[in-house]
Structure 1
């Protein structure tokens, strides 16, 4: 797990280091812990307070240090908080969709856009596909996509099982960074996984999620297209959002879905490929056990346990045991 992913869960690098130190019982008191971490006492107190606030530790008793929560339980608490935020943003997006008819009525005067409200309504699959192509052609830095079925045929009439107007390969060839979250059900379309895999090899950053909340195409964080949910309706409307307030609500929605999604190519499969002994060790780390306790559970010397822990961290691409436990919990590897 990367530092960015931990930050998404509300935990920065300094908080993680402090939490790791609490797990390892490296200090008898706050003064000693501050020296070990090379932090001023005031800074340490703030970090400890944040750990308690985020459910990663229980409040200190007397002059002692806060007691760290087991990583698996702590990460689940953070995930539940992020899920609640995602539900809230999804509800906000649904309210936005409910205003589409009202906006359409205001825009029937023939004007292609509504600068005063920052929203354009596009009607019909062909027009939506053409608008998507136009927006993507203007992309300079990055494109973010939430992709889920049902799909709309592109302006050329092709049934390509994809969001309309998306030529990902052309974007990648121009050096535009493209991130997409694919709905798991959408990958069941014939040839879908194969075509996505080819794009990933060309530089597409793709993740997979269950029940992607909406379709969304965001270009350079300045303009967002919300394709219609009902792809079969020729009167379906899409919203092109350029208003800063709405844009600032939609991009956080994408980032939340992105952070919860699984990188395409198999973190789940990676766990399945772990030997049974490493899976057992992963569970012990996530439970917050100390090295000595892990060694006793495995029936080995503590030095052997530490070597196995180091090997597991290397296998998972994690720098710390907390990252390994957090990664396993986020990906659903642990019950």
Structure 2
């Protein structure tokens, strides 16, 4: 393998895995990747410690392969497969954290109502029917505020959505995308509600008609109304298969929807932190340098870049700068 090929392979691995895989693991993985693997007896010296070999194997970033001479070799998994496995682990961790939050909320409700007990296994069900409007409102608020990666909004009619003049969660630390029907912005209250979402950090798109409503937190949990009226109750879904299918449906609608912008925002076309990231991006600074200048994590920069990209309607970070200059957002 040539030096150019090794350099290209290392660059692609960093591009895919930085901010998703821990830096310590990435520092072990990339040398193994560019070397293309090695005999197991040489792996310890390459990685510096036998425990590091076991760590890469446990994380699914490398595996043992039997050679024709019956010797074993440590072989790196591809960057794409490593990314897929890392995302699957993170999705599982997020689902567990949401489960803890929901169980804690259930215990708090039991304590406040004086029952002293929680319904057996209530939070272990993959699908729950909810009819208590206060309960639905609490769950919606909890999930929106606790989402760590993404909060997806499709349509109206979920109890717990805040009124125009009510408090809204800030989406500065997580990515929020919302799809509403176009008719929502035809009324003053509806437009103010959508503009409030945008000011809170959400990226909004519009469709002429939406056949269903739902909320999805971190690809782990979904809320859906039983019928398109606020008093009908809701479904709480914790099945990864069902939630995954709903997420795919959301993405299909997202591609067809029209981007919405709130022209009367008081804090500029984007939240302040995203404007700072945009200005640094136009200066050709890499994500790591942007994170260091702003004092935030690489993952945080990545989340904001995704939001900026969606807001500008471009497909990759390299087109963001050109679109921002064309629209007069930066010099």
TM-score by length of 1: 0.39
**Which has the higher relative contact order, 1 or 2, with Cα contacts under 8 A spaced 6 or more apart?**
1
